[in-house]
Amino acid sequence: MWQPPNSQKYTHPDGDWPSETAAAASRLFSPISFGAITLEQRTWIPAMVPWRATEEGLVTDDVLEWYERFAKGRPGAIVVEATGVRDIPSGPLLRIGHDRFIPGLRELVDTVHRASDGHTRILIQIIDFLAIRRRPAKEKYFRRYFQLNATHRDALKANGASDAECVETLIAMPDEALSDVLTERELEALRYGYRERVTDLELPHIRSLPEVLPPMFADAAIRAQEAGFDGVELHYAHAYTMASFLSARNTRTDGYGGSQDGRLRLPLEVFDEVRERVGEGYTVGCRFLSDECIDEGTELPDSTYFGLAFADAGMDFLSVSRGGKFEDAKQPKVGASVYPYTGRSGYECMPTIRSDERGPFGRNVPSVSHIRSAIRGAGYETPIVVAGGITSFSQAESILASGEADIIGAARQSLADPDWFRKMHLGRGDEIRRCKFTNYCEALDQRHKQVTCQLWDRTNRDEPGISMSLDGKRRLTAPEWE
């Protein structure tokens, strides 16, 4: 895992847990209304992929149990993991690209409403992502995927050789020497696995994304509405298609790249079509990045411009994340896929307890606050959700009190202790199991394994009726709070 240079280990900020009376009077536990919904409290569990769907993308009992467990802690809102808008196989990740997914998703909604006694609102994050292949073995790359052309031949000085001879030469070449023969994209496909870009305009299915995606997202949003979700979060963050359109690296020349407005065009068109189909009375917002945290990536001036445009377009909420890109990810092992949370941008998305002088707690807050000020300055009241290393009452309360954000998102702290908001609310904060921020959970995600937390997954494994991981070693949900 990437760590900032000269990092040091931090200690948790004091919990400063409130009494029940102080919690009742706090901003954190005060309601907020937006779109068609009211959250009873300003607490939010952002999307977290737990790798529990079927290979066909359907809701399983394990998915229901995962969300049920969070719902028992009665947060203001839970956002269901990134759920694919296409009807294509994508491993055990949830999908919403066809009506056959609706019944399972409806059961998920009912489960959360029931388990929280109606206190928690449930939204779903909807996502599109482009193709990505595992890193191939060198021989496999050259024999199966590589396309030899005249430029390669020139570089190899092998004009009389057959194609097969050229391929053998390439296989035998040391890695460093290949840089003189292959293009950057070919080197990337060899070293990291082939990955599509929104800028690959020579590919018809990439060129046509601006026509294809708005109706696809809108169909998915309609299904979410039919399944009973309280709202939809459009995934415009991290390493995926819509974030790549917003990226400063998007150089598309068809009007959907380049300038700030060009990069915004498709995200706005997707939103407009979603809004038109679901109607004004349904809650729709997006998650986007304050900073891509990569070289030549989007930074705060652009993201502030985007935030203003989203508010102006009528989004009901904005959830602001940070980093999480492919561009600076570590090289995967042969046979594995590149994972977008392994470089500096990944660190910025999910900072660990070892950090630089800015520390791991609330690194995204200053940027989010800047975006929010611009939005308020322009007269919009759109609520802003912040996340990233938030783990104490005083921290959350001071973010709200100083107007840096309107809703507090906590992913890993909620995984460590799904009851932590409830414990705070009831004045029992000293019973909270505090996240260690060492990213054991994220490492499981990286290996596409069922996500659990090191603080509870080996506890009371003989408890009757609990579900275990596929290898039988870990319980899949946190023990109940008595």
Ligand X SMILES: Cc1cc2nc3c(=O)[nH]c(=O)nc-3n(C[C@H](O)[C@H](O)[C@H](O)COP(=O)(O)O)c2cc1C
For binding to ligand X (CB under 6 A), which residues are involved? 46-49, 81-82, 125, 237-238, 287, 321, 349-350, 387-390, 410-413, 441-442, 445, 451
Nearest-approach distance from CB 413 to ligand SF4, in angstroms: 7
Shortest reach from residue 438's CB to ligand SF4, in Å = 5
Q: Is 415 in the site for ligand SF4 (CB under 6 A)?
A: yes
Q: Closest distance between ligand SF4 and the C-beta of residue 123, in Å?
A: 21
* Position 436 contacts ligand SF4 (CB under 6 A): yes
Q: Of 203-211, 285-293, 408-416, 459-467, which part binds ligand SF4 (CB under 6 A)? A: 408-416
Residue number, 166 or 435, with CB nearest to ligand SF4: 435
Q: How far is the CB of 412 from ligand SF4 (least distance, A)?
A: 4
Helix (H, G, I), strand (E, B) or coil at 124: strand
Residue 453 binds which entry of ligand X, ligand SF4, none, CB below 5-8 Å type-dependent? ligand SF4
Q: Quote the CA–CA distance of 51 and 177 in Å, as a whole number.
A: 39
What is the rounded CA–CA span in Å between residue 341 and residue 349? 7
- Give the number of residues in contact with ligand SF4, rule: CB under 6 A: 13
**How many Cβ atoms are within 10 Å of 61's Cβ, its own excluded?**
12
Number of residues assigned to the chain: 482
Residue 288 near residue 306 (C-beta atoms within 8 A): yes
Residue type, 190: L
Whichever of 189 and 320 has its CB closer to ligand X, that residue is 320
Compare residues 440 and 481 and give the one whose CB is closer to ligand SF4: 440
Q: Pick one of ligand SF4, ligand X, none as the site partner of residue 410 (Cβ within 5 to 8 A by kind).
A: ligand X
Q: What are phi and psi of 335, to 5 degrees?
A: 95, -10
Give the pair of three-digit tokens for residue 261: 């407005």
Q: Report the nearest approach of ligand SF4 to the CB of residue 416 (Å).
A: 4
Measured from the CB of residue 373, what is the shortest distance to ligand X in angstroms? 21
Nearest distance, CB of residue 175 and ligand SF4, angstroms: 35
Window of 106-114, 252-260, 391-399, 437-445 that interacts with ligand SF4 by CB under 6 A: 437-445
The residue among 83 and 352 lying less far from ligand SF4, judged by its C-beta, is 352
Q: How far apart are CA 376 and CA 76, in angstroms?
A: 23
Residue with Cβ nearer ligand X (109 or 127): 127
Given the complex with ligand SF4, which of 311 and 441 has the nearer CB atom? 441
Decide the pairing of beta strands 318-321 and 384-386.
parallel
Taking the least distance from each CB to ligand SF4, the nearer of 54 and 467 is: 467
DSSP 34-98: ETTEEESSSEEE-----S-S-TT----HHHHHHHHHHHHT--SEEEEEEEESSSS--SSS-B-SS
> Which is closer to ligand X, CB of 58 or CB of 201?
58
Our finding on whether 453 is near ligand SF4 (CB under 6 A) is yes
Q: Which is nearer to ligand X, 170 or 432 (CB)?
A: 432
For 98, the token pair is 């066809």
**Least gap, CB of 366 to ligand SF4 (angstroms):** 23
Which CB, 45 or 178, lies closer to ligand SF4?
A: 45
Residue 204 neighbours by CB under 8 Å, 6+ apart: none
Work out the number of other CB atoms within 10 angstroms of the CB of residue 184.
8
- Under rule CB under 6 A, residue 416 binds ligand SF4: yes
Task: Give the C-alpha separation, 439 to 215, whole Å.
Answer: 36
Selection from ligand X, ligand SF4, none that 241 binds (CB < 5 to 8 A by kind) is none
DSSP for 332-370?
A: PPTTS---TTSSHHHHHHS--SEE-TT-SSSTTHHHHHH
Least gap, CB of 353 to ligand X (angstroms): 11
State both tokens at 437: 């921020």
Q: Angle at Cα 62 formed by Cα 220 and Cα 412, nearest 5°? A: 80
Residue 336 binding partner per list ligand SF4, ligand X, none, with a CB distance cut-off of 5 to 8 Å that depends on partner kind: none
**Of 394, 438, 466, 481, which lies in the binding site for ligand SF4, with binding defined by CB under 6 A?**
438
Please name which of 303, 305, 269 lies closest in space to residue 289, comparing C-alpha atoms: 303
Label residue 252 exposed, middle or buried (CB < 10 Å: 0-12, 13-18, 19+): buried
Closest separation in Å from C-beta 433 to ligand SF4: 8
Q: Which residue, 4 or 258, has its beta carbon nearer to ligand X?
A: 4
Q: Which of 132, 148, 308, 455 binds ligand SF4 (CB under 6 A)?
A: 455
What three-state secondary structure class fits 125?
A: strand
Residue 438 site contact among ligand SF4, ligand X, none (CB < 5 to 8 Å, cut-off depends on kind): ligand SF4
Task: Report, in Å, the least distance between residue 227 CB and ligand X.
Answer: 18
Q: Residue 321 binds which one of ligand X, ligand SF4, none, with CB within 5 to 8 A depending on kind?
A: ligand X
Helix (H) or strand (E) holding 411: none
Closest CA to 334 of 167, 163, 166, 141: 141
Tokens standing for residue 54: 């079927």
Residues binding ligand SF4 (CB under 6 A):
412, 415-416, 435-441, 453-455
